[in-house]
Structure 1
Amino acid sequence: MTWRRPTFRISDGQTIAGAWCLVWRRHELLDEHYPEHLFVYADGRITLGQYAATDLAGLAEQLASGKTALDRPDAREWPAEPSKWESRSPEPRTDESFLLEVADEIARLAGRPSAGDRLWEAIRCYQRETTEANRSLLRAAYLAVPAHLRVYVLGDMDRQDRPLRILVTDLGQSVDGDGPVVTEAMHRDARAYFTDRDRDVALAEEQQAVRYADDPAGAPQPPVVLYETTYPRGWPDELGDFALRNDYDAPFTYEGETYPTVAHGYWARSAAGRDDHDRVRAAVTAREAQETGGRAARREDWSGARLAVMAGLLRAKFDQHPRLAQVLLATGEAPIVYTGISEAPFWRDEGPRGGRNWTGRLLELVRSELRAERYTPAARTAETALRAATRTGSQTGENGGA
């Protein structure tokens, strides 16, 4: 059974996490079975299809009555394995073991320990103190795992769950009834398997910590959303996030040409001819620049060059306007979501509908470059000199006032 997630439902304003799989339901009138979605949720609610809500006990009744089945009734029956010990296949899934699996999935969604979690805790307990009492607890925890999932519980497709099957079998008894007779050496080897596994896991975690040493720590910041807005009476005097948008009036020079906004620069640079370039650059507003540039013939290489050009224009804008650079830096490390309706989806975010948000991504890149420049030796020296000059000027002013 493959559980698919994430899914959820809203109940009393709360989001309840869920997962789903496919089962077979019997049509009451036609007496035929058809596939149906079985949804389970963190609060224990179970839904067959869209409307038939029940719980674990109700699902058990559905399975017992034959109204719901785990497999198609006319599905091919596989022959029984000749030896349980030598078999590489899981045990057959039954209604009882599936109900245990559903209960496990509900516990996992609710953030509670699953049968697999409790089994691993029993393994660690037995490894710390290899007593018969702890081995009995290990056996109980192993048998609590749904039977058809036990071969997967260790995540080892070579050994499967054989080390556990050996450990939970008493000395002198045959594993699975048809396997080897368990000896103390076999118990010792099985314990060594878990010791080696713990060592390998610790080594892998250490290597991952080194590889991911620069991964951001802590909870991520909520995104900064740059909405498309209009100001009929002119831009506000107090700068805000609107100044990060491409239509904000902030003249800058890029490769020897001066543009009123990033939008002017982008559409002018996209034009194949010089006359069109100059007409776009001379447009009164960013909207007019876009409309003029959109009608002009495009450079042949524009598809491959436009990201580099946009990045260069944004760098020029914020390099030449320190106040705007401060607005950009004030967004911290938050994702920048560039929205609106005027730009193509390539440049903006469209929420559930898509959009590649390249403007937002390039703003994050420029922000990172601005922050990195602050930590260069030259920048630190200049900052120190500025602070010293500021202190000297303050002292001179105080003395002159005296």
Structure 2
Amino acid sequence: MDGERIEGVWCHVWLRSHWNDQYFLDDLLVYADGAVRCERLTDLRGLEKLLASGRIAVTEPGSAKLPDERSKWVSRNSEPVTPEGFLLEVADKVEALNERPTARQRCWDAIGRFQQDPSESNRALLREAYLAVPPHLRIYVLGDMDRQDRPLRILLTDVGAAVEGGGPVVTSEMHAEVLDYFNQGEEGLAREEEHRAVQHADDPVMAGEAAITSEESIFPRGWPEALGLFVLRNEFPAPVVFAGETYPSVLHGYWALSAAEASEHDQIRDAPSGREAQERGGRAERRADWPGIRLAVMGGLMEAKFTQHPDLAEILLSTGDSVISYTGHSDSPFWRDARDGRGRNWVGRLLELIRSGLVARQALLS
């Protein structure tokens, strides 16, 4: 909106109809600025009221309840989702979207403090952080699908007391084993981070430049004299020499080389414009091997364009390391970017690859 992108996430909820009090599945959207949308725009406080009133349900109304389990300790299931727990989860999503610590991260911070100083005060802070995690997400807080959150439940239970939900009576040895569990996990994580740093040693530390969009444009009075990003288009009239032949543009070359008959090749090559070449080429019979070579042909023609025209290469190099989205309507989704997800943006990807080659040549020749 107005050039600003506000990140968001979504999930399904059940919304009660105003007309017949029946529930239907709907989308709940949550944004980084705290806005919440489900039928209408509100915020966390408004969502709390909608949940309390039953207007929004977080589980399917009328569905059968899960049978009671004999022991929560041996159970593999999380706590059921409640309106209160769901509200905590939504608030946590807002924190995550703003790259602020979530309840899970705060719990891990509390674990780290307790490892450094296993005092009762730090254990109390750890209990507080654990209980701040939405109940239905607590079994996932450690990321251990075998032990789930059992180590924490042991640690937060006093020696001599049984873990809630039918768990064992806790001993001091069990507390020590849990601390050893966390210490081993921390050491393993440190080793993994060190290994990852070696594997990803060439990963850029700076954020890349903003993506640019190469749009298909029509110039009724001819192409502008002052060069701009429009020179990235394959229909731009820049003669290229490729495979011993000269073509008025990349588009001329691509469609001419796709033709099975030599006579049609020449008619396409001699078309008055790139788009006219595409029209003629689209009607011509295609070479039998074209599906297997067309990407290489397009890449070769585009590389010839920018290596044979240094002024055009400078325009391409001016895009830095930006992702290039090659859009339009005349090219197939194989070549262009498309909002419906069908676009493979191969021209944009080839432009980025050719740009990298130009940069490499400059670096090696300097």
- Same-fold status (TM-score > 0.5): yes
Distance 1:58 1:231 in 2: 51
In the alignment, residue 283 of structure 1 is paired with which amino acid?
A: A
**In the alignment, structure 1 residue 50 sits paired with structure 2 residue 39:** yes
Which digits, 9 at most, give the CA deviation of each residue in 1:260-304, with x for residues without a partner? 221221121111111111222233332332233222221111122
With CA pairs under 8 Å and 6+ residues apart, which has the higher RCO, 1 or 2? 2
Distance 1:95 1:231 in 2: 57
Say if 2:59 and 2:81, in contact at 8 Å, map to a contact too.
Answer: no
Q: How does 1:14-29 map to 2 (within 5 A)?
A: 16-27=6-17
Matched residue, 1:38: 28
| SS in structure 2 of the partner of residue 337 of structure 1 | strand
Q: How does 1:41-80 map to 2 (within 5 A)?
A: 41-47=31-37, 49-51=38-40, 53-80=41-68
How far residue 41 of structure 1 moved from its aligned partner, in angstroms, is 3.7
Distance 2:228 2:64 in 1: 66
Within the candidate set 173, 176, 184, 2:161 is matched to: 173
Which digits, 9 at most, give the CA deviation of each residue in 1:125-148, with x for residues without a partner? 111111111111111211222222
Q: How does 1:3-402 map to 2 (within 5 A)?
A: 16-27=6-17, 30-47=20-37, 49-51=38-40, 53-176=41-164, 178-231=166-219, 234-352=222-340, 354-376=342-364, 379-380=365-366
Which digits, 9 at most, give the CA deviation of each residue in 1:32-88, with x for residues without a partner? 4333433444444444x313x555455444444444433334322222221222222
| SS in structure 2 of the partner of residue 176 of structure 1 | coil
Distance change in 2, residues 1:211/1:235 (3 Å): same
Distance 1:201 1:164 in 2: 18
Identical residues among aligned pairs (%): 54
Which stretch has the larger CA shift, 118-127 or 72-81?
Answer: 72-81
Q: Aligned pair count? A: 366
Distance change in 2, residues 1:21/1:227 (3 Å): closer
Q: Normalising by structure 1, what TM-score?
A: 0.81
Distance 2:165 2:265 in 1: 84
Structure 2 regions of 5+ residues with no counterpart? none
Structure 1 regions of 5+ residues with no counterpart? 1-9, 381-402
Distance 2:103 2:94 in 1: 11
Which stretch has the larger CA shift, 270-279 or 367-376?
Answer: 367-376
Which stretch has the larger CA shift, 25-34 or 331-340?
Answer: 25-34
Task: Please say which structure displays the higher CA radius of gyration.
Answer: 1
Alignment RMSD: 2.7
Which stretch has the larger CA shift, 364-373 or 322-331?
Answer: 322-331
In the alignment, residue 114 of structure 2 is paired with which amino acid?
A: Y
Which stretch has the larger CA shift, 255-264 or 54-63?
Answer: 54-63
Say if 2:71 and 2:165, in contact at 8 Å, map to a contact too.
Answer: no
Which digits, 9 at most, give the CA deviation of each residue in 1:219-248, with x for residues without a partner? 221233333345555544443333332233
Distance change in 2, residues 1:50/1:62 (3 Å): closer
